[in-house]
Structure 1
Amino acid sequence: MSDCPPSPQLSEAAERRPPTAVASCPSSPAASPAPAVARDQLDHCNGQRNVYKFGATALCRPARFCDLIHVVRTERARVAALVVSAMDPTPAQLLRAVAFAAAGDASSALNVVDKLQAETLSIATATLRELHVKPVDDMEALIVGLWTPLRELLVGMSLLQEQTAPATDAVLAFGEQLTAALVARLLTQAGIDALYVDARDWLLTDETHGSANVLFDESRTKLRQQRTGWSPEVVPVITGSIGCTRNGRTTTLGRNGADYTATLVGAMLRADYVVIHTDTAGVMTADPDIVDRAVALSHLSHYEALELAMYSTRMFHARTMVPLIKSGVPMFIRNMMDPSGRGTYISAVGRTGTHETCTTSLEHLAIIEARTRILQDGSSRQANIGARVTKVLEALRIPVWLSIRGAHGQAISVVVPLDKEVQARAAIDTELSAEIASHEVDCVNSESPVTMLSIVTEDLSKVPHHRTRFFGSLADADIEVLAVGQGTSLRSLSCVIRGIDTKVAVRRVHDAFNVDCLVTNVVLLGCNHIALDVVHQLHKLQERYWSQHKARVNIVGFNPNCDDFLYDPKGFAYEELASCLEACRSTNAVMSASSANEPTPYAGAPSLTHLNELQDLAIPIVLDCSGQSNTQDLYSACIERGIHVVASNARSVCRLPSTLWRESTATTTRTESGRTFFMHTSTVGASLPIIDTLGNILRTGDRILGIDTSLSGSMNFVANEVMKGKKLSEAVGEVLCRGYCERDPREDFTGTDMVAKVVVLARALGVHLHESEVRVEPFIPHSVLDTIAWSHDMEVDDIVTGLEAYDEEFRERYYMPAVSESKRLCYVASINLAGSLSIEATIRPLLVSEDHPVYYTKDNEVAFGVSSVQYPNPLVLKGSGTGASASATGVLRDVLTILSRLSGNNVRA
């Protein structure tokens, strides 16, 4: 329901405006437009004479006709006229009938009309029923009578077996006539006096059938003369999109021509507002079918709207804005189903200082390029090929959406409709055949399908960062730009991209201009404590992420169990995710079912279909907390698609091929284009910033000499418990119960997990180190572990029992010497880089004294000591390095790092 207050009914004399407000026309530049209304004062409810237009999609079923009648009844006092389009899908069906008739199939053509007639009668009857008014006795006769001339016309076309532009216009006009007549009759039956007005009685055009040009002065005179015969108590219902030549032949105005009719009526009758009713909330910042975050703009200038019409915003006819620009009449576009909604105002007032920017995409195009091989200077008399290409395309009336010329016309790229590519290229080849044969001009090249991507904003030329954000967002998505052009009005910027990149490009560019926060769409892999803690932290910290980082994390995929994967591009609620992951991890088993059988394909990984969908979303990230090591194919597939990867498991990282690594000290690996991040800082030290610190040291030019570190928080916990007097088996039981170990705890006991972390550290130092090159002494010997019957369903007590026989030997070997020598037992990795090109790495249980970097670790802490030329005494980092919470913090830090890097490429004004 509209929230507009009623306005008093005006007499004819009171409706007249002062001379300064007289509407002007395109041929009368000296006339003054109506004074512009300030943006914050625009309100169609204050209008006393508004023209209302109802679109085809807003008139597609009985409920929408009822909405129309409700709007007119509520706002009757300010309704100067209605303009209606043919109801959907009548135009498409009429074109089918034309095609049948032109093929000589009159029967099929008339069948189309029969179906349209039946559907129209059904809609009319249902509308009257919903309005609770009595049926119209002659409704069927009205509809049949309107269709009778159409039947005769189609039969005539079938006899001639030809489809001419004038005949097609004549057929399409019946859709407009029927809808307008039906609306007028329904309004009258609902108690609102209405008058059917055929626009052909006043709207004169030239003879350009299909896209006729309006003869404004003559049309205005005829409309104003006709208007004198309209009673103030009657609502005129005018057919949209059709006109008439001087000799009486029907013409149409082209796509969205009813909007053009409405603005012509508004300008000619000096309306206060033209109110357009459609099926969207207004002019959207992007196509909502592509960008689900698109919102309605609150305001546009006339010239911005004109620019949008030129760059294929399907909402506007190319000439819709011309009458409004000349007359100064504002337009208001609102949703038919929500007439009290915000909507979009379009007026003469500029829109500087706002961030809302429209992103448009014109698809199904081809780009054709011709260039000279022998460069000419500006004084050459040789006709430039740019002018010749343009001339030949104009002669064939092939639309050119974008034309880019090189200096002196020696090269030209043109963007044409895809269905005209072959014709255009052949014409250019013919025109330049002599030069191509003499090798003065390269062979003509073309590429298709391509898309013309554009942004439109009033202050494009005043804010240099707009261009940075436009091309930066495309670069971040690794989208190649084939051509660039800027509108002469300086309100638009366009580029040509490959058609396959359209969705990603529109979403990225739209978000760069219209989304105040960075929204990342994350696939969370792993059904374990770490994945659950990631969800808990995201839920708990979402407000802080918003306030501090302007970021929002949307989880679109996850593992409800170890073998399945769920995906929803709209995202899952954190509560739902937590509930599923809680149920998944509630088991007493020590190892997951798959850990004993690796390497096998990762059953819980997203499919290529899911990855293809994910790459279309804003800032896609695969966050792998699964602990799987056989993820090479998954990571490669992600990187190829521009999907960022955050890995939490060192084994999955160290086994990757060198093509996925950047051999340097930085904390990320990126694709060759430098746009897709592969983050893995949490694989070493979890939340402890070990790799970041190492990178910072090396970036200063310092040289690392050696590293002593205890990177296994689980084995440090066991060692600390043993030093407190516990038996080895008891300490192992405790660490398993706390969930500090890997999916297969043997990776911790044997040092395999530590080896992977050392390899990752080495690569961070720029040194290639294979796992087999690390000398390892297990924390618990293989001979002892082999006495245990390992299985995926074994429990903690099974392992504790299996280790009890080794308790005394372990105590005598490590605990007793440590106590006697006042040392502590730690599981230490040592990396020696004293040699210029060599690296030596060892891992072993070690009794350390107080001066050792890892001596003061407690519980499950890890310690990292690094010696360098600048730090002869080791620089030591110490803190929690294992457990679900620390690991979750580490991977989320990597996610925020990606968002920070990307936001740096989209600087806001």
Structure 2
Amino acid sequence: MKILKFGGKSLANGKGIETTIQIIKEKAIRQERIAVVLSARGNATDELLEMLEKAARKETYREELTAFKAYQSQIATSADCLEEFTTLENLLQGVSLLGDYSEKIKDQIMSLGEIIAAKLVTNLLQKEGVNAHFTDTRSLIITDNVFGNARPLDLISRKNIINHFKSYNGTTVNIVTGFIGSNQNNETTTLGRNGSNYTAALLANFLDAEELQNYTHVDGIFTANPDLVADAKKIEALSFNEANELANFGAHILHAKTIVPLIEKNIPLRILNTFNSSDGGTIITQKTTAKGIKSISVLDNVVLVNLEGRGLLGRVGVDARIFKTLSENDINVSIISQGSSERGIGLVINASEASKAIVSLEREFENDFYTKDVNKISIIDDVAVISIVGQDLSEFHKPYNALIKNQIVPILFNNTVSGKNVSLVVKKSQLHKAVNVIHGQIFGVSKKINIAVFGKGLVGGTLLDQIVKSKIAILDKNNIKLNVFAIADSQHVYLNKNGTADNWQDTFSKEKVAYTVQQIIDYSKIHHLENLIAVDTTASKKFIHDYIPLVKNGFDLVSANKVANTIEYSFYQELRLELKKHQKNYLYETNVGAGLPLIDTIRLLHKSGESIKKIRGVFSGSLSYLFNTFSVEDIPFSTVLKQAEEKGFTEPDAREDLSGNDVARKLLILARELDLKHELSDISIQNLLPAHLQTISLQQFKENISDLDETFKHIKANQQENNVLRYVGDLDTETKILEVKLISVSSNSALGQIKGSDSIFEIYTEAYKEQPLVIQGAGAGAAVTARGVFGDILRLTEKL
């Protein structure tokens, strides 16, 4: 025999009840020996409870009662439920008159959902020619007198069920009410919420069933709740022990008591989807499955009870008093945490029992308040429990560090004695994000990196195109999903939590909206986005002041914008303090050498204790192109400048390059990497522009750039033979002199041999005293810079 159990959504009007009837009918036609256990239909249990509460508050419930009766009768008007509807109406009327109700009355009302469901399904099956028999478990499962969470009396219940199924066997399909029983006084009791699963497990045990099939609205048990984690995967098989852990820690598809009767007889439990007959579901058996993490389950209807005081710890019997008090009030504790430094005890309990717990504990420790041994008993209700079933403590640092990186700090955690299951208590507001972070870390699914790109100009636009072109390859090769959820210019933003489409330009144009950076931060929180990176490809002096709010709200930073590293040192220092405080990263390799690994190299040398004496080089790819070309070709300087502008090597206003300010900023960035507290004003800068070209409009400058020709023709002509012009930055750490200037060098030297728009950096250290360490490569161009920014993003994904 197989026991089939159908949940509320499987019995709801429409496709649910139609599919359920068809499943049972097909099994009956194939002459399979089955018994069917039913929950209440649709939301009947919640609706009954709501009407009961309204009646107790003397509020009107008539509208809800009429709707309830209409829904339950809608698809089978011939089903005889008049007795149940009359009982419900009379009980609610009595509660309304008294303004209160007992647990006994509550059980009577709550049982009606299952009774109505079983009568209706029996009626529908009989119409389909199935020999169905309505079976009321109140005459079969006999329980103790604990209303609301009754315990079945094993021997008598077993005997009743075996005898009943002997009488109604063969071709009979028993349609059994789940969730309910009765005590020895013939009073209705219930087996606790979700107790229909327990009823089905008891039947399977007593009848030696070959399998219990639990039909739900999902394909089985998943690695996490699919409503919370889009990437959750179905688990094909679990052991009873693993399933029991999931049940105890919030897997709503299972009831905590369901597993025990099945373990006793080694009866497999299969979780199936009523609406997807082709899926084999999840099978749960005695057999231990492969080692490793099985699932993440969640309890979000809990509170944390905190007891604080100097006398709580170190005194024998305190724990016993706490648990005795809670036990006497039928309050179950799922997690306990103690800390001697805080002199406190934390207990996780069901939210519905919070008030009762506080009252009982305050009564128990009343005298301790007077002696100051206890000074506070409080409730934290913004909490949830995340349990990682199968988590080995030796690997726990990985999901834990991932949480910290995403600014989620668990309030407390504990593990089982086996060391294979870990539970975390987190703020409920962080639950969604926390589950996604943990799931992505431990199940090997693609790690999602959520990126906000600020600036969609030449570099930003190129970067976005590079991400679009490379994201599939990066997903396949590195298991990393790059999700650009925000694209912003100075005034507008396009937001999409699922990532921008390949045609991002058109989408941005059609769907952009005005924004503030705070709105983007809020958007990331509302949608629980993890692994956040803010990318700055602007040259904005204003936007850098948003760096700190971004860092404080969980964003790592990647920037091609040199301003943040070159304005006053106080901001430079404040930003780094905030980065350290919030454990965030800030990468800006492109600030100096476009895509060259310069800053990383200098940082590594400096941190390793290598004394860097001097850094000299051609820092600007724009000026490199200008003087590499001008030095070897017989053409006017203004012609070369126009060529550089056309190739996109210069800033929009080439005077930014010719003034030396850009090179000076890069030199300052390197100086600060070496812990020199310089300001931009400390750098000696040779401006290549005559005074009359420095202050006029950009248009006027472009019309008068030929004014530069005679000056540079003269400078070129007065060089030594075989020399070339180079505009260099020079940093001497011993003299602490920083200079930006135009020099003439031998064409055979390292500086003299560079071509095109290459940058070159000579690094003199204690080890590289005579022959400097040289880093050389492309130093200008949107593609090169964007690729460097992309490289920083990928480096960050490894840290995340």
Q: Normalising by structure 2, what TM-score?
A: 0.92
Contact 1:357 1:457 in 2 (8 A): yes
- Structure 1 counterpart of 2:63: 111
Contact 2:210 2:267 in 1 (8 A): yes
1:824 corresponds to which of 718, 724, 727: 724
SS at match of 1:706: strand
- Structure 2 counterpart of 1:303: 241
Shift of 1:647: 0.9
For residues 422 and 295 of structure 1, the distance between their equivalents in structure 2, rounded to whole angstroms, comes to 38
- Structure 2 counterpart of 1:833: 733
Shift of 1:170: 0.9
Give 1:898-909 correspondences, 5 Å limit. 898-902=796-800
Contact 1:853 1:864 in 2 (8 A): no
Give 1:855-866 correspondences, 5 Å limit. 855-866=752-763
- Structure 2 counterpart of 1:577: 504
Contact 2:79 2:119 in 1 (8 A): no
- Structure 2 counterpart of 1:732: 641
1:870 aligned to 2:767?
yes
Contact 1:403 1:412 in 2 (8 A): yes
For residues 369 and 720 of structure 1, the distance between their equivalents in structure 2, rounded to whole angstroms, comes to 74
Q: 1:901 to 1:508 in 2, by over 3 A?
A: same
2:139 corresponds to which of 166, 179, 201: 201
- Structure 2 counterpart of 1:443: 375
For residues 336 and 153 of structure 2, the distance between their equivalents in structure 1, rounded to whole angstroms, comes to 30
1:525 corresponds to which of 454, 462, 484: 454
Q: 1:493 to 1:856 in 2, by over 3 A?
A: same
1:607 aligned to 2:520?
yes
For residues 317 and 332 of structure 1, the distance between their equivalents in structure 2, rounded to whole angstroms, comes to 14
The aligned amino acid for 2:347 is: V
For residues 408 and 739 of structure 1, the distance between their equivalents in structure 2, rounded to whole angstroms, comes to 61
Contact 1:684 1:711 in 2 (8 A): yes
- Structure 2 counterpart of 1:804: 706
The aligned amino acid for 2:558 is: V
Shift of 1:120: 2.8
Q: 1:513 to 1:608 in 2, by over 3 A?
A: closer
- Structure 2 counterpart of 1:763: 672
- Structure 1 counterpart of 2:416: 487
Q: 1:868 to 1:355 in 2, by over 3 A?
A: same
SS at match of 2:625: helix
1:255 aligned to 2:193?
yes
1:322 aligned to 2:252?
no
Instruction: Name which of structure 1's ranges 449-458 and 517-526 shifts more when overlaid on structure 2.
Output: 449-458
- Structure 2 counterpart of 1:905: none
Shift of 1:263: 1.6
- Structure 1 counterpart of 2:403: 474
- Structure 1 counterpart of 2:108: 170
1:65 aligned to 2:9?
no
Contact 1:722 1:728 in 2 (8 A): yes
Shift of 1:758: 1.8
- Structure 2 counterpart of 1:372: 310
Q: Normalising by structure 1, what TM-score?
A: 0.81
- Structure 2 counterpart of 1:780: 689
1:88 corresponds to which of 32, 35, 42: 42
CA RMSD of aligned residues (A): 3.0
Shift of 1:428: 3.7
Shift of 1:636: 0.8
Shift of 1:427: 4.3
For residues 191-226 of structure 1, give each alpha carbon's deviation from its aligned partner in whole angstroms, at most 9, with x where no partner exists: 434222222221221121111112233222111211
- Structure 2 counterpart of 1:357: 295
1:431 aligned to 2:364?
yes
For residues 55 and 324 of structure 2, the distance between their equivalents in structure 1, rounded to whole angstroms, comes to 36
The aligned amino acid for 1:858 is: K
The aligned amino acid for 2:746 is: S
1:226 corresponds to which of 160, 164, 168: 164
SS at match of 2:346: strand
Contact 1:729 1:800 in 2 (8 A): no
Q: 1:203 to 1:491 in 2, by over 3 A?
A: farther
Q: 1:608 to 1:542 in 2, by over 3 A?
A: closer
Contact 1:204 1:246 in 2 (8 A): yes
1:888 corresponds to which of 781, 786, 797: 786
For residues 604 and 444 of structure 1, the distance between their equivalents in structure 2, rounded to whole angstroms, comes to 40
Question: Unaligned stretches of 5+ in structure 2?
Answer: none
Contact 1:829 1:842 in 2 (8 A): yes
The aligned amino acid for 2:615 is: I
1:748 aligned to 2:654?
no
Give 1:559-638 correspondences, 5 Å limit. 559=488, 562-573=490-501, 575-577=502-504, 607-613=520-526, 616-638=528-550
The aligned amino acid for 1:831 is: L
SS at match of 1:338: coil
The aligned amino acid for 1:735 is: A
Shift of 1:373: 5.3
Instruction: Name which of structure 1's ranges 601-610 and 359-368 shifts more when overlaid on structure 2.
Output: 601-610
Shift of 1:246: 1.7
For residues 423 and 532 of structure 1, the distance between their equivalents in structure 2, rounded to whole angstroms, comes to 59
The aligned amino acid for 2:676 is: V
For residues 61 and 229 of structure 1, the distance between their equivalents in structure 2, rounded to whole angstroms, comes to 32
SS at match of 1:372: coil
Shift of 1:634: 2.0
SS at match of 1:313: coil
Shift of 1:843: 1.4
Contact 1:195 1:236 in 2 (8 A): yes
For residues 232 and 493 of structure 1, the distance between their equivalents in structure 2, rounded to whole angstroms, comes to 47
Give 1:141-160 correspondences, 5 Å limit. 142-160=80-98
Question: Unaligned stretches of 5+ in structure 1?
Answer: 1-48, 125-135, 377-381, 585-600, 791-797, 903-909
- Structure 2 counterpart of 1:844: 741
For residues 815-857 of structure 1, give each alpha carbon's deviation from its aligned partner in whole angstroms, at most 9, with x where no partner exists: 3334x5322222211111124xxx2212123222246543222
Q: 1:424 to 1:486 in 2, by over 3 A?
A: same
SS at match of 2:233: coil
Instruction: Name which of structure 1's ranges 603-612 and 681-690 shifts more when overlaid on structure 2.
Output: 603-612
Q: 1:166 to 1:580 in 2, by over 3 A?
A: closer
Contact 2:293 2:388 in 1 (8 A): no
Shift of 1:775: 1.9
For residues 431 and 409 of structure 2, the distance between their equivalents in structure 1, rounded to whole angstroms, comes to 11
Instruction: Name which of structure 1's ranges 81-90 and 68-77 shifts more when overlaid on structure 2.
Output: 68-77
For residues 499 and 148 of structure 2, the distance between their equivalents in structure 1, rounded to whole angstroms, comes to 45
For residues 741-784 of structure 1, give each alpha carbon's deviation from its aligned partner in whole angstroms, at most 9, with x where no partner exists: 33554422322222222222112111222122222222334521
The aligned amino acid for 1:758 is: L
SS at match of 1:672: helix
The aligned amino acid for 1:545 is: I
For residues 646 and 250 of structure 2, the distance between their equivalents in structure 1, rounded to whole angstroms, comes to 62
SS at match of 2:706: helix
Contact 1:485 1:495 in 2 (8 A): yes
For residues 429-471 of structure 1, give each alpha carbon's deviation from its aligned partner in whole angstroms, at most 9, with x where no partner exists: 45344444444x252354623535343434x4xx443322243
Contact 1:709 1:853 in 2 (8 A): no
Contact 2:197 2:258 in 1 (8 A): yes
1:384 aligned to 2:317?
yes
For residues 374 and 168 of structure 1, the distance between their equivalents in structure 2, rounded to whole angstroms, comes to 38
For residues 387 and 463 of structure 2, the distance between their equivalents in structure 1, rounded to whole angstroms, comes to 37
The aligned amino acid for 1:472 is: N
1:648 aligned to 2:560?
yes
1:721 corresponds to which of 625, 629, 645: 629
Shift of 1:871: 0.9
- Structure 1 counterpart of 2:286: 348
Give 1:208-219 correspondences, 5 Å limit. 208-219=146-157
Q: 1:330 to 1:162 in 2, by over 3 A?
A: same
SS at match of 1:607: helix
1:710 aligned to 2:621?
no
SS at match of 2:529: coil
The aligned amino acid for 1:865 is: E
SS at match of 2:3: strand
For residues 490-535 of structure 1, give each alpha carbon's deviation from its aligned partner in whole angstroms, at most 9, with x where no partner exists: 4421233333332332222222211344321111222123233323
Give 1:530-549 correspondences, 5 Å limit. 530-542=459-471, 544-546=473-475, 548-549=477-478
